[in-house]
Structure 1
């Protein structure tokens, strides 16, 4: 800037510096500008000093305003949270409502997560109690659903059917159990304040599950258990034992099904909890088995001979399920008890008793005195055949029991001790062959003794041939079951030999006197010949009457035909030869007076002894014949 311009500007600003000396301004413009700036600076300092308190106050007010706004927002947020917490607490305390289980689980899961991660603005003890309450409410629902599924009437048809778990309860229980398994437990959340109480609630609910399902399983099986026991008294022993085995199979089916359900529906799925719960569940089933077996065992012990095959059949069929029982009823349930094993020991003891007692009863039958004996089939013969015919059906159980008893130890009273160890070379097939040999020998000995009881040997011989022939036919000649593999060569030889002996005794006591009358002797006079013919036909009439009273081989058509042929061949040819030699007119003017029947008529009469048809006679004659039998010590 030049001097003229500076002067002009200085003149225009003189009013700003009234106190400045004009001469100074005119003489030094630069000093003038400096003075102006200094004056501005002083004024700005003054302005700043006057404005600074107001600025500071406004800044403080702005900060306070922001803080107040933030506080209000936080209060609103807290108010909203408290309202949400109150709603959650109310929902949890009220418990799960129908159709809102998922909502309940979500809320309880959120509250529990907040407690675990510390993300909730609430007291941890109150939150823990709330989580515990929610868990207990869910276990109550769990117990209610299980109770509904374990009530009502099970399926009860003629044959057992497993009653399935209701699908409606299962559809609710499945997601519920999955959620219950996510709840904190001491093993997974050791620091969680509610974990011990939650575990206690789940244990109680799981125990309730086991109690209810165990009682339900027992209820499903009770009806069939009673039916098995009732039918055991009247049903064939082998079939009754088979039915008992089927019932035990049904019991194991229930146990297996319940174990599968427990794996799916147990809130506590760790192994120790499952074993304890399953042990509680199967206890009622095991108790029902013990009670049912006890009833059957009592029936067997009451009449061991009558129910021998019930014991053998039950033992055989129950043995098949020992492995399954050990698995489900003992190992998986962590139970030391094994009711099936104990029951098998009890049944085996009855089986061991039955074999020697049966032989003892056969021998005891030989002591029957003072009564009448039929010339027909004796009860001991029929019962022996029935007994032996049933052995193949329970061969495994019978041979095992006999091997345990010891080869030959069933011969009580012969210096043999029960319980002696079996011979080293004895096997199951050998020991059963030996037992059947002893049974047949015992019954034949008894029959021989009984045949000598009566006063008339002829009737005794008929009795013996009838019974021995029946034994031989049913066991050896025409067996109705496949029993031949169990009859050893000595046993078969015994039957054949005693049949021949019995037949010879029958011929000897009934037809030998006839043959003796036709024998030649020193006296060949007419009177002797007349006496022989008279004696022959008198004896023939006695034999005829005897065979009307006592039928021979009544139920064996083939045996009767063979017997008729043998007797006819023995008697008729001798009669023909005697008649040809002495039957002319030389010994009598009236031969028909002594020769009452021709040889052909005698043969027809003899064959009539063994003909089929009703052997009954008119009532008066029948009473006479019965009296004759009674006098001889026999009856029809």
Structure 2
């Protein structure tokens, strides 16, 4: 056992000796590695201390190199405008006609770009050069403006608008070639003028000003004669009673030509200018013509106000023409409606006030009538009112809108509704309700309101004339005939004119006609009363209308002498009264319609009574005709002759 243990111990001891020997080697190796790292670190520090300054210098050199490159680039940029100055100056000094427009515009663009670059450099040394470039650019702009002016004025004299209107020709516009040319010049002017604006010289609108000046004058000269004609055709003798008729004033032609020329000019502007500038240029170009239109409307308004009963219809026509025109122009251009509407406001106010004025003056004229025709004929005022009603209906569209703005019944006030005296002047700031009405929109109006207005006018006239007739005419038949004649004149106007019939019917006059007819028949009550008898006879009373000669004889025989005398007296009184009424009837001046109406009324009143009376008592004078003057047929003939 002992030897085995020693052997095992010896083996383990040997292994320990090997491990110890390996550990010793490892320690020696670690020491050598540590010494190597120390030497390497020392060497790295030496390299760093040697290389660091060189690296830093290299970075600084790279930055310096890049800065130099950039400076060279800026110098090159600064040199380019300076190098180009001589070349561009020669082109610009030569002018666009000699150099050619495209080359000239190119030179201006390059100068403009060079000026922008120089200005952006903000170098004090460039100020002299910038000033020289700006002077060169200003010279170029001035030459462009002169070219622009001469091109616009070349061959564009005023035209005669009536020639194009009457022959249904398109109103002239600038050619496509010319508008393209002008557009290029205008854009160059705007672009070059930006530099002037930067220096505080606000001349960027000079091209626009030239266009507005020349084309505005072209429009003004072309339309001036029509504006003058609109005023001259409205002037008449102070005492001329003629009622204005549609289309007799030149305002219609004037407005059509104005609209066509404005739209033609708008087509030019859209091809020359761009964006928001279009509307501004269009409004400015038309401003001179709009001033003329404003003056024309103002003068026409003065003429209308001085002759409002006869010329108020011109105001209605102006409204009917100008208001839709403003909407059409706005639809095409987006401009001018508000300006035109404001110009129209005084005329609109006059038109609205005329509606009350017509009623007021009609009443005044009727009330101040001092004499009436002794034969029952009507008076001129009735014919004037009938003609006025017809003319009013011919202007139904603007009238309905005006009446709607006043309100149903508003015209019955003594003063014009919603229209003050100040509002008739141009300086009023109050816009009437009617200014917002669109004549193109039927929903803005109420057609029945015109019927109410015309009905009020007729009622006012007939009521006032009835009162005057009761004062000036001594007899009721004369009063009745006068009123019936007046009604007939109005009724004829209604029935014979399709323009009136949508708003008035002759049946509206039926109640006045019936009242006057009954008044006339009061004169025939006297002869009618003589045909009524209360004679008692002994014979049986025959049926009226069925008596024969034998019946009449029997009745006469049954009468006593006193009753016969009474019957004779009734015949004689009837004859006298009837003849007087016939003579008086024939002395009256009657419209055909009135004569027919009254003849039927007399016939229906007298003939049945006389026929009955005659059937019973005609044998009283045995056909001698002394007492019984008329047979039934003869009486019917006389009445039919009425």
TM-score by length of 2: 0.65
Aligned counterpart for 2:583 among listed residues 528, 536, 545: 545
Aligned counterpart for 2:531 among listed residues 503, 518, 527: 518
Aligned position for 1:508: 522
- How does 1:313-462 map onto structure 2 within 5 Å? 313-324=317-328, 332=335, 338-373=338-373, 375-412=376-413, 418-419=417-418, 428-429=446-447, 431-452=449-470, 453-462=472-481
Report the Cα distance in structure 2 between the residues aligned to 1:184 and 1:350, rounded to whole angstroms: 46
State which drifts further: 283-292 or 296-305: 296-305
Deviation of the 1:319 alpha carbon: 2.9
Is 1:255 equivalent to 2:290 in the alignment?
no
Is 1:165 equivalent to 2:167 in the alignment?
no
Report the Cα distance in structure 1 between the residues aligned to 2:355 and 2:292, rounded to whole angstroms: 30
Report the Cα distance in structure 1 between the residues aligned to 2:501 and 2:179, rounded to whole angstroms: 61
Q: Classify the secondary structure of the residue corresponding to 2:411.
A: coil
Cα 1:244/1:427, change in 2 over 3 Å: closer
Report the Cα distance in structure 2 between the residues aligned to 1:184 and 1:458, rounded to whole angstroms: 87
Contact 2:262 2:286 in 1 (8 A): yes
Contact 2:164 2:170 in 1 (8 A): no
Q: Classify the secondary structure of the residue corresponding to 1:354.
A: helix
Deviation of the 1:113 alpha carbon: 6.7
Contact 1:185 1:196 in 2 (8 A): no
Aligned position for 1:592: 625
Deviation of the 1:187 alpha carbon: 8.3
Q: Classify the secondary structure of the residue corresponding to 1:576.
A: helix
Deviation of the 1:325 alpha carbon: 5.4
Aligned position for 1:37: none
Is 1:148 equivalent to 2:154 in the alignment?
yes
Deviation of the 1:210 alpha carbon: 0.3
Report the Cα distance in structure 2 between the residues aligned to 1:546 and 1:393, rounded to whole angstroms: 40
Report the Cα distance in structure 1 between the residues aligned to 2:98 and 2:527, rounded to whole angstroms: 103
Report the Cα distance in structure 1 between the residues aligned to 2:106 and 2:417, rounded to whole angstroms: 73
Cα 1:142/1:296, change in 2 over 3 Å: same
Aligned counterpart for 2:512 among listed residues 487, 498, 508: 498
Report the Cα distance in structure 1 between the residues aligned to 2:193 and 2:163, rounded to whole angstroms: 47
Is 1:582 equivalent to 2:595 in the alignment?
no
Deviation of the 1:529 alpha carbon: 4.3
Contact 2:233 2:249 in 1 (8 A): no
Report the Cα distance in structure 1 between the residues aligned to 2:353 and 2:272, rounded to whole angstroms: 48
Report the Cα distance in structure 1 between the residues aligned to 2:150 and 2:498, rounded to whole angstroms: 57
Is 1:281 equivalent to 2:298 in the alignment?
no
Cα 1:320/1:576, change in 2 over 3 Å: same
Report the Cα distance in structure 2 between the residues aligned to 1:134 and 1:174, rounded to whole angstroms: 20
Report the Cα distance in structure 1 between the residues aligned to 2:354 and 2:528, rounded to whole angstroms: 48
Cα 1:343/1:598, change in 2 over 3 Å: farther
- The alignment yields a C-alpha RMSD, in angstroms, of 4.3
Report the Cα distance in structure 2 between the residues aligned to 1:105 and 1:201, rounded to whole angstroms: 18
Deviation of the 1:147 alpha carbon: 1.9
Cα 1:551/1:137, change in 2 over 3 Å: same
Cα 1:183/1:309, change in 2 over 3 Å: closer
Aligned position for 1:137: 143
Deviation of the 1:162 alpha carbon: 5.9
Report the Cα distance in structure 1 between the residues aligned to 2:200 and 2:229, rounded to whole angstroms: 45
Aligned position for 2:311: 307
Residues 263-321 of structure 1 show CA distances to partners (whole Å, capped at 9, x for unaligned) of 3335xx563x5555434312112101111211221122112222333323332343324
Report the Cα distance in structure 2 between the residues aligned to 1:583 and 1:384, rounded to whole angstroms: 51
Aligned position for 2:484: 465
Q: Tell me the number of residue pairs that the alignment of Structure 1 and Structure 2 aligns.
A: 496
Report the Cα distance in structure 2 between the residues aligned to 1:524 and 1:429, rounded to whole angstroms: 69
Deviation of the 1:342 alpha carbon: 2.2
Deviation of the 1:130 alpha carbon: 3.3
Contact 1:464 1:502 in 2 (8 A): yes
Is 1:568 equivalent to 2:603 in the alignment?
yes
Residues 439-490 of structure 1 show CA distances to partners (whole Å, capped at 9, x for unaligned) of 2322221232233221233222221222224434544xx3522545545xxx
Report the Cα distance in structure 2 between the residues aligned to 1:605 and 1:472, rounded to whole angstroms: 28
Deviation of the 1:578 alpha carbon: 3.0
- How does 1:206-225 map onto structure 2 within 5 Å? 206-225=208-227
Aligned counterpart for 2:641 among listed residues 599, 608, 622: 608
Report the Cα distance in structure 1 between the residues aligned to 2:627 and 2:140, rounded to whole angstroms: 118
State which drifts further: 320-329 or 215-224: 320-329
Report the Cα distance in structure 2 between the residues aligned to 1:546 and 1:278, rounded to whole angstroms: 74
Contact 1:238 1:313 in 2 (8 A): no
Q: Classify the secondary structure of the residue corresponding to 2:308.
A: coil
TM-score by length of 1: 0.65
Cα 1:152/1:393, change in 2 over 3 Å: closer
Cα 1:172/1:114, change in 2 over 3 Å: farther
